[in-house]
A and B are shown apart, each in its own frame.
Chain A
Amino acid sequence: MTAQQWTLTLVVATFALYIGIAVWSRASTTKDFYVAGTGVSPLANGMATAADWMSAASFLGMAGLISFMGYDGSVYLMGWTGGYVLLALLLAPYLRKFGAFTVPDFVGDRYYSQTARIVAVVCAIFISFTYVAGQMRGVGIVFGRFLEVDVDIGVYIGMGVVFFYAVLGGMKGITYTQVAQYCVLIFAYMVPAIFLSIMVTGNPIPQLGLGGVDLESGMPLLERLNGLNTELGFAEYTSGTKSMLDVLFITTALMVGTAGLPHVIIRFYTVPRVRDARISVGWALVFIALLYTTAPAIAVFARTNLINSVSETPYSEVPEWFTTWEDTGLLGFEDLNGDGRIQFVGPDSPVANELSVDNDIIVLANPEIAELPNWVIGLVAAGGLAAALSTAAGLLLVVSSAVSHDLLKRSLMPEISERGELLAARVAAAAAVLFAGYLGTHPPGYVAQVVAFAFGLAASSFFPVIILGIFSKRTTREGAILGMVSGIALTGAYIVWFTLMHPELSNPENWWFGISPQGIGTVGMLLNFAVTMTVSRFTPEPPEHVRRLVDSIRIPKGVEEGAA
């Protein structure tokens, strides 16, 4: 079979699987719809969390980013995994004990304030929509490249599938499809990685191959790549070019942002007990780590392969994949010096660079560059779709529950019936899918920056307020509201200023203390902590029932919050 036939077969088969699971796991109550009836096993929840978390960006983009950034790419590896330690130790068990349905639920109840609840609803919806636009776009691109359908039609097909299982099954449907999607995406990621590792280093385990010896030159692989990089005028692969302070701030913002993202937090509401929530975070990180420790290996194999196959190669002799990818615009060559050869060089080189390579191509084109069998190409397409769809569904659920539960049930229409709320949840999910589809077909030109915005926002709004809500009884509603607002305002203003209004000024000379817009979430978080704690000191103590609530959250069993 050709690569395209394989792709079609695998995509149709996996989509049929997802829809089958959705029909089997329909939601019949709001508890099913919001938290899968709290009956998910910790292991299944760990897998679902991993799929929920790993988006099109992790699957398609990350290895490529690291490939071009070298050591600097570590900010993503540590930042997007280290947050799970914070989740396990500081958030998940307590939020599970609290036992609500959404993040605004916790904020509203703990801070005895409708204003706090509404601020949280707005943050949750904004964070989720910025994120989901990129996922839908990812779906469209995979369809466009592998099945040669129009990108917009790809987005519509993706919408149709998500619509089916998110609207019908709510959290219950999403959870079990995510388990299936995790299996698809990790298999699709590992197979080419293992092939590559054997080809480049002779070691079938990519994590070990990265620290192994390059078969072609007999040198340690990383040393060889450092040599190639320096020769071509790039920075040494294992040392970075970013300032250490910026690396610290970006890593912190990503870690804390991960722990504050509502679609990740709500996954830990779905397990039966507090101890399940703890171990479930552990499983989630095991499943995530499998991909995250493989990505840096792919990055190095792919970069070495790329340099070896294109550098100083005459354009007339390029391999077939080169021209295929040139057609998509993800790869570009301009013969500046007219010698007919490809100069792929870095900023320190005396000659001009003639090759532009999009990050996403590293994972997408890997099977072709490495001349892997056709079914592997189809598998990568199915895996990319699984990663994008699973994340999109989780995000859409946050939007839907924020509207039907936090806004209608808990704020505007408290007398709404169970059936009415479930219907509202489905309608909100449907509307969210349509809006996400609109964003996917009319993407704002700055999707990548907007995703950074989501992390900064989550880090500077939810994280400090939830942590203080659990660990400090003295934290008051006034403190929390002012803290959230000031954290978001600072982070938002800084990002909007440098990425949307004045992108031409966005360089280390103009940044505060050399902190990039990606790292500013850390400053916003510190400001939020400082404001919340200071204001709490000067405002009246939280009422008795709230202090009792905090007591009950801290202990898995034994304190009844309504006992007084």
Chain B
Amino acid sequence: MADDTSARHAHYWRRNIRYVGLLLAVWFSVSFGFGILLVEPLNAINLPGTAYPLGFWFAQQGSIYVFVALIFVYVKLMNGLDAEFDVAEEDGT
């Protein structure tokens, strides 16, 4: 039984690590990637429909919006994972 539980928990942890890895890859791309490393080539084009140079937009606006979205995606993924592995805390604790 105990081994079963710990195998299940190890599985839960691996899934968590995978989610974190994927989301951090996006986090890195929008800020360090688009906002810093690729800023010059991206500035050659505008964000469609606006007068924002695209690289500048990522550095001063876009990356922040993506950061917010990433956290909410993580919350959703983890709430699902908690339920799937039956490790969610009860209400009112």
Contacts and interface: CB of A to CB of B under 8 A. Distances in A.
Specify whether A and B are partners. Answer: yes
Interface of A: 66, 71, 73-74, 77-78, 81-82, 84-85, 88-90, 93, 207-208, 210-213, 220-223, 238-239, 244, 247-248, 251-252, 272-275, 278-279, 281-282, 285-286, 289, 292-293, 296, 551, 554-559
Contacts of A221: 51
A221 B90 CA distance: 52
Contacts, number: 141
A246 to B, nearest CB: 10
9 contacts: A77-B64, A93-B78, A252-B32, A282-B72, A289-B64, A554-B13, A555-B12, A557-B87, A557-B88
Interface in B44-63: 47, 50-53, 56-57, 59-61, 63
B38 to A, nearest CB: 10
A238 B87 CA distance: 48
A308 B36 CA distance: 30
A89 B74 contact: yes
Is chain B's interface secondary structure helix, strand, loop, or mixed overall?
helix
Contact of A78 (B20, B57, B63): B63
Contacts of A252: 32
Given A78-B59, A293-B61, A275 B71 contact: no
Contact of B88 (A74, A93, A248, A556): A556
A222 B74 contact: no
Given A81-B67, A85-B71, A559-B9, A239 B79 contact: no
Given A239-B40, A251-B36, A222 B56 contact: yes
Contacts of B61: 207, 210, 293, 296
Contacts of B5: 558
A74 to B, nearest CB: 4
Contact of B24 (A85, A213, A281, A554): A85
Contacts of B47: 211
B73 to A, nearest CB: 9
B39 A71 contact: yes
A554 B23 CA distance: 18
Q: Which of B6, B51, B71, B93 has the most CB of A within 10 A?
A: B71
A554 B9 CA distance: 9
Contact of B59 (A74, A275, A557): A74
Contacts of B27: 82, 85
A81 B74 CA distance: 16
B84 interface: no
A293 B59 contact: no
A274 B63 contact: no
A244 B67 CA distance: 22
B51 A278 contact: no
Nearest to A208: B50
Interface string B23-35: 1100100011001
A223 B13 contact: no
A506 to B, nearest CB: 22
A73 B61 CA distance: 12
A244 B36 contact: yes
B35 A78 contact: yes
Contacts of B32: 248, 251-252
A88 B36 contact: no
From B5, B40, B63, B79, name the one whose CB has the most chain A CB atoms within 10 angstroms: B63
Contacts of B89: 273-275, 556-557
B82 A281 contact: no
Nearest to B78: A278
B54 to A, nearest CB: 10
Contacts of B90: 557
A556 B67 contact: no
Given A74-B59, A88-B74, A289-B64, A238 B9 contact: no
